[in-house]
Amino acid sequence: MFANRNSACTYREGSLPGQCAPLAIGYVPMQTGAEKVYAKDEALAKGTLFPGLDLPFKNYINSAKNLNTPLMELMALDFAVLDLGLYLDTHKDDAEAFALYKEYVRLLKEGKEKYIKLYGPIRQTDAAEFDSFNWLDDPWPWNAGERKVVC
C-alpha cells in the first residue's frame, strides 16, 4: 500500500489533524422527470428547487423569512441558474427548463450590473470596472447603517 505523502495515512484514508480517517463516497439521488418544484423563496431557504433533493442537515430547517434584500435576490437568481444548469446536465432536451435557464441568466446579469453600480463590487474581479480598487471599501451592504470605524 502507498502511504499519503503528508501523513502516515494509507491511500484509503484522508488526514485529519492528528489522525487518519476513512475516505467517504459522495452520493446524490437521481431526480425524477416530472417532479414538482418549490416556490422561489422556499427553494432558496431549502437550498434546492427540487423536493426530491431536499436532504436536511441534522434536522436544520431554513427559514424563508427576510429574503427580500437586493443581495438575497441576486443570490436567489445565482442559485436558480446553478440549480437549473445542474438539472440540464442530465436533462438536455428539456426545452422549457433551458428557456427558463436563459431567462434567469439574463436577469442575473442585469441584476449584477445594477447591484455593482449601487453598492460596489460583488466579487473582487468586479473592482476592475471602477477607476480605483475599491474592493474593501466600507460599508458593505450587510453593514448598512453601521458606523465606519477609522483607526
Asked whether residue 2 is assigned to any structural domain, the reply reads no
- pLDDT tens digit sequence for 84-140: 999 999 999 999 999 999 999 999 999 999 888 887 788 888 888 777 776 666 655
Structural domain span for residue 48: 37-128
> Domain for residue 92, yes or no?
yes
Q: Is residue 1 part of a domain?
A: no
Between these two residues, 30 and 87, which has the higher pLDDT value?
Answer: 87
Which residue type is seen at 31? Answer: Q
Give the distance, in angstroms, between the CA of residue 103 and the centroid of all CA atoms in the same chain: 18
Question: Per the structure, how many domains does the chain have?
Answer: 1
Round the average pLDDT of the chain to a whole number and report it.
75
* DSSP calls for 21-82: EE------PPPPTT-----HHHHHHHT-S-GGG---STT-----TT--SHHHHHHHHHHHHH
Domain assignment present for 114: yes
Q: Give the H/E segment covering residue 19.
A: strand 19-22
Nearest-angstrom CA–CA distance, 125 and 106: 20
- Structural domain includes residue 149: no
Provide the pLDDT for residue 32: 64
